[in-house]
Chains A and B, each alone.
Chain A
């Protein structure tokens, strides 16, 4: 169905596959960049992933004038301001981010602050408030296959002072170039591969079902689901398989495009709250909550879940399942994937296996209702509903 109105954007140029990293300098040259600031984290520096990038992008026309590798898993306003002044001090003209969601979101924040010529990023909180600003060439190289941050218009950044996650939403946050190269994810441990892969699946499923779904985002979502179906388990079982790694990187980006445009709902709203209060890794929270939230949404989304069976289970299963049973079967497939991943690498299947405490349920539910993702969930959710989902997932 075509919505009465929708908007869609996927403005990032995508480089995917063999020697993708080696093409970055050419891309940056075309964007008139000559002096790069490279952002990453300590782990990636230690295991040599960052060096692989540095080796690949350094050319005569492109100088890496500085690097910042102190970005923690929960990046903050302070770090963004620090990097912003480093960028100015070193007289850089472009940014390359190598990392997971946190590094890429940090880079988005730095780039936005610089291009808006502000001193404090907090002035820019909100949704679609900023104008184009000065163009700062920005390349994102994801090192996990999950967040899809390289393709989304959102950056989530912690305000340490108030212990609150701030959301920045603007089409101008999307990187100029996103680079998918299997060398970046090949050394990702099995459990993180599983957890982030389930996050990508969740993006695709929520992207396919939330209020702003549209024919464009649908196309990205279902392709992502097919790729995840065929590759996630393999990537967890044998991380050294380059083909499988590249496939998952593609799926993650596509799921990112899908949810960046149709947005995420209930699963993410509760997941964000659990992340904030109980510090459960985002992908773990998504994996555990997904089947329960899908069951909750099922009466509103029967048609959509039924259609997804074709992509998550394949044509044979779809054709031999009656319409009435398809939505349930889709949820069953998600559940089975979760159990299978639990078997292979110990991905948690219940909240009780994580840091979540029952006494935090009330706070989690309150926080979840205040999460921006809740507004696009197709079914109305109230406090008691969230508590019930948490109970079932515990």
Chain B
């Protein structure tokens, strides 16, 4: 049996949007690493070479991050990441990446598989919560985060960095 055209299209659109948001999530990580003390402290605690792969579904696009001397760097791919977070479906990833479901909600709802140590993943989750507080408007984060983290960094500086990378 073949997948319907409607579903194919839907998946294409969802994957495309997810990829774009993953990119901004990465920029968000870079920006908050630079401007937000909490994220910097978390990431500085990761061992050099520590790697994380966030995948929107099995065999689908992912964001690969690695801790380096410079902070956090994007990788083209990762063979054996220390932490792999792989959503069970593109639709679940789309919910999270478009700010309709928080990471804690997704974890509680068994929306992703996790390989690696849960304690290390917790630090990553705390960072994502903070990055989301910058990327999404408050009416969204209020719904998906248990508590909206305060924004210590200048919001315009952060957005400039997220959008234009400087």
Contacts and interface: CB of A to CB of B under 8 A. Distances in A.
A128 B113 contact: yes
Interface string B91-129: 000000000000111011111011111111111011000
Interface string B61-85: 0000000000000000000000010
B37 interface: no
A7 B110 contact: yes
A164 B116 CA distance: 13
A280 interface: no
A379 B104 CA distance: 11
Contacts of B108: 210-212, 262-263, 375-376
Contacts of A370: 119-120, 122-123
Contacts of A376: 104, 107-108
A11 to B, nearest CB: 15
Nearest to A300: B146
Contacts of A167: 117-118
B44 to A, nearest CB: 14
A262 B115 CA distance: 20
A126 interface: yes
A207 to B, nearest CB: 12
A380 B146 contact: yes
A128 B87 CA distance: 11
B104 A129 contact: no
Interface in A1-57: 3, 5-7
Interface residues of A, number: 28
Contact count band on B: 20 to 34
A324 to B, nearest CB: 24
A372 B121 CA distance: 8
Given A7-B109, A7-B110, A379-B146, A372 B104 contact: no
A212 B102 CA distance: 13
B110 A128 contact: yes
A164 B118 CA distance: 11
A129 B80 CA distance: 14
Given A125-B117, A126-B113, A211-B108, A375 B123 contact: no
Contact of B147 (A3, A129, A371, A380): A380
A378 interface: yes
Contact of B115 (A129, A211, A372): A129
B155 to A, nearest CB: 21
Contact of A375 (B116, B117, B125, B147): B125
B119 A212 contact: no
A325 to B, nearest CB: 26
B31 to A, nearest CB: 22
Interface string A164-190: 101100000000000000000000000
A86 interface: no
A369 interface: yes
Contact of B113 (A3, A129, A166): A129
Nearest to A262: B108
A167 B109 CA distance: 18
A7 B110 CA distance: 7
B114 A128 contact: yes
Contact of B105 (A126, A166, A211): A211
A319 interface: no
A374 interface: yes
A269 B120 CA distance: 14
Contacts of B126: 369
A126 B116 contact: yes
Given A375-B122, A375-B125, A376-B104, A212 B117 contact: no
Nearest to B92: A5
A290 to B, nearest CB: 20
A127 B113 contact: yes
Nearest to B83: A126
Contacts of B109: 3, 5-7, 212
Nearest to A379: B146
Nearest to B111: A5
B113 to A, nearest CB: 5
Contacts of A263: 108
Contacts of B118: 126-127, 167, 371-372
Nearest to A376: B108
20 contacts: A3-B109, A6-B109, A125-B116, A126-B113, A126-B114, A126-B118, A127-B113, A127-B114, A127-B118, A128-B110, A166-B117, A167-B117, A212-B108, A369-B126, A372-B118, A375-B122, A375-B125, A376-B107, A378-B146, A379-B146
Given A375-B108, A379-B146, 11 more contacts: A6-B109, A125-B115, A126-B118, A127-B118, A129-B114, A212-B108, A369-B122, A371-B118, A376-B108, A379-B147, A380-B145
Q: List 4 tightest A-B contacts by C-beta distance, closest first.
A: A380-B147, A126-B115, A211-B108, A212-B108
